Protein backbone atom coordinates (compact mmCIF):
# COMPACT_ATOMS: atom_id res chain seq x y z
CA UNK A 1 0.00 0.00 0.00
CA UNK A 2 2.87 2.35 0.81
CA UNK A 3 4.43 1.79 -2.61
CA UNK A 4 1.13 2.44 -4.35
CA UNK A 5 0.58 5.63 -2.39
CA UNK A 6 4.11 6.69 -3.29
CA UNK A 7 3.34 6.02 -6.95
CA UNK A 8 0.23 8.17 -6.80
CA UNK A 9 2.04 10.93 -5.00
CA UNK A 10 4.75 10.76 -7.64
CA UNK A 11 2.12 11.75 -10.20
CA UNK A 12 1.21 14.92 -8.36
CA UNK A 13 4.22 16.96 -9.54
CA UNK A 14 2.96 16.52 -13.09
CA UNK A 15 -0.09 18.46 -12.01
CA UNK A 16 2.06 21.34 -10.82
CA UNK A 17 4.04 21.36 -14.06
CA UNK A 18 0.87 21.29 -16.10
CA UNK A 19 -0.28 24.60 -14.60
CA UNK A 20 1.94 27.42 -15.81
CA UNK A 21 -0.82 29.96 -15.10
CA UNK A 22 0.85 31.31 -11.95
CA UNK A 23 4.05 32.15 -13.82
CA UNK A 24 2.46 32.84 -17.20
CA UNK A 25 3.42 36.05 -18.93
CA UNK A 26 0.86 38.83 -19.15
CA UNK A 27 -1.49 38.59 -22.06
CA UNK A 28 -2.27 34.89 -21.69
CA UNK A 29 -5.85 33.84 -22.14
CA UNK A 30 -7.53 33.77 -18.71
CA UNK A 31 -9.81 30.97 -19.94
CA UNK A 32 -6.75 28.71 -20.06
CA UNK A 33 -6.32 29.10 -16.31
CA UNK A 34 -9.89 27.96 -15.77
CA UNK A 35 -9.39 24.95 -18.02
CA UNK A 36 -6.19 23.90 -16.27
CA UNK A 37 -7.73 24.37 -12.85
CA UNK A 38 -10.76 22.26 -13.79
CA UNK A 39 -8.52 19.55 -15.23
CA UNK A 40 -6.39 19.44 -12.08
CA UNK A 41 -9.44 19.26 -9.85
CA UNK A 42 -10.81 16.40 -11.94
CA UNK A 43 -7.52 14.51 -11.73
CA UNK A 44 -7.32 15.03 -7.97
CA UNK A 45 -10.86 13.79 -7.58
CA UNK A 46 -9.98 10.65 -9.53
CA UNK A 47 -6.92 10.06 -7.35
CA UNK A 48 -8.98 10.47 -4.20
CA UNK A 49 -11.56 7.99 -5.47
CA UNK A 50 -8.86 5.43 -6.27
CA UNK A 51 -7.25 5.85 -2.84
CA UNK A 52 -10.58 5.56 -1.06
CA UNK A 53 -11.35 2.40 -2.99
CA UNK A 54 -7.96 0.98 -2.04
CA UNK A 55 -8.55 1.93 1.59
CA UNK A 56 -11.88 0.10 1.64
CA UNK A 57 -10.26 -2.94 0.05
CA UNK A 58 -7.44 -3.03 2.62
CA UNK A 59 -9.88 -2.57 5.49
CA UNK A 60 -11.96 -5.49 4.23
CA UNK A 61 -8.98 -7.77 3.58
CA UNK A 62 -8.96 -10.84 5.81
CA UNK A 63 -5.95 -12.67 4.40
CA UNK A 64 -2.51 -11.79 3.05
CA UNK A 65 -3.75 -12.86 -0.39
CA UNK A 66 -6.66 -10.42 -0.17
CA UNK A 67 -4.29 -7.65 0.85
CA UNK A 68 -2.06 -8.48 -2.11
CA UNK A 69 -5.11 -8.30 -4.39
CA UNK A 70 -5.81 -4.82 -3.05
CA UNK A 71 -2.27 -3.74 -3.83
CA UNK A 72 -2.47 -5.15 -7.34
CA UNK A 73 -5.82 -3.49 -7.99
CA UNK A 74 -4.44 -0.16 -6.82
CA UNK A 75 -1.36 -0.57 -8.99
CA UNK A 76 -3.50 -1.28 -12.04
CA UNK A 77 -5.73 1.71 -11.36
CA UNK A 78 -2.71 3.99 -10.99
CA UNK A 79 -1.30 2.66 -14.26
CA UNK A 80 -4.47 3.56 -16.14
CA UNK A 81 -4.39 7.09 -14.71
CA UNK A 82 -0.90 7.82 -16.02
CA UNK A 83 -0.66 10.10 -19.04
CA UNK A 84 -0.51 8.19 -22.28
CA UNK A 85 -2.89 5.41 -21.20
User: In this prediction, what percent of the chain has a pLDDT beyond 70?
Assistant: 67
What helix, strand, coil percent values describe the chain, rounded to 5?
Answer: 80, 0, 20
Q: What is the pLDDT of residues 21-45, one digit of tens each?
A: 555 556 578 879 999 999 999 999 9
CA dihedral 39, 53, 1, 5 (to 10 degrees): 10
Q: Is the pTM of this model over 0.85?
A: no
Amino acid sequence: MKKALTAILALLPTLALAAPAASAPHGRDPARFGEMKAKQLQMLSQHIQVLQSAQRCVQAAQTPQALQSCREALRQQVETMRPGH
